[in-house]
Amino acid sequence: MKLSVPIYQLKRRAKLLARNDDIPLHQALDRVARKQGYRSWSLLAAKREPPRSSTSVLSQLADGDLLLLGARPGHGKTTLGLQLLLEAVHEGRQATFFTLEYTEQESRKRIHSLSGGMELGDRVEIVTSDEISADYITRHLSGSSRGTVAVIDYLQILDQKRSKPALSEQVTALRRFARSTGAVLAFISQVGPSIPK
């Protein structure tokens, strides 16, 4: 089924609807999905996801690597990040999703839709604290086993509070942490439209 507008615009509509009607975001997303001919947002999102690559992303990464998943809104960054976590779970690795964008319920719903209905329980840990920063992430993952995979959603919000260090300092600290512990860290990043020359 063809959408009337790109998915990122539908998400924006849902956020406005949630604010204007004073309803939870998941209800607003479901309303928007129904207007597009889907029973729920998770079904719309699952049908609109880009096809999976035959080569897994995780197989291309070594312990201690950093990965930047950057694109414009609605191009599948979060989906790719969550698929990376699912690959980690299938390999028996610890998988953690740090998000400042989604609630735990929204995250679990998306993970479930990507898992093909396979019951994962809490095998993907979801962290939604407003305190997420390089320091918070390193403390949270300290003691994790080598090869742990963490996805941070999303990069630009890490230094949103003035009390947190600059983004470049946080990325440097996370790079040191990844190299010393063997954790694989993936950052989701919004990319704006290109500026004409």
Is the domain of 44 the same as that of 62? no
Residue 71 domain-assigned (yes or no) = yes
Residues 84, 36 share a domain: no
Does residue 1 form part of some domain?
no
Q: pLDDT digit string (tens) for 13-59?
A: 899 999 999 999 889 999 999 998 898 888 888 776 554 444 688 88
pTM above 0.85, yes or no: no
pLDDT in tens, 73-90: 888 899 999 999 999 998
Q: What angle do CA 40, 46, 52 make, to 5 degrees?
A: 175
Most confident of 39-43, 126-130, 181-185: 181-185
Higher pLDDT, 51 or 12: 12
Q: What is the mean pLDDT of residues 112-140?
A: 87
144 φ/ψ angles, rounded to the nearest 5 degrees: -70, 155
Beta carbons within 8 Å of 45's beta carbon, 6+ residues apart: 7, 79, 110, 113
Same domain, 136 and 169: yes
pLDDT of residue 144: 94
Residue 37, domain member (yes or no) = yes
Give the CATH number of the domain where residue 114 resides: 3.40.50.300
- Which pLDDT score is estimated for 194? 54
Which structural domain, as residue segments, surrounds residue 19? 7-48
Residue type, 169: E
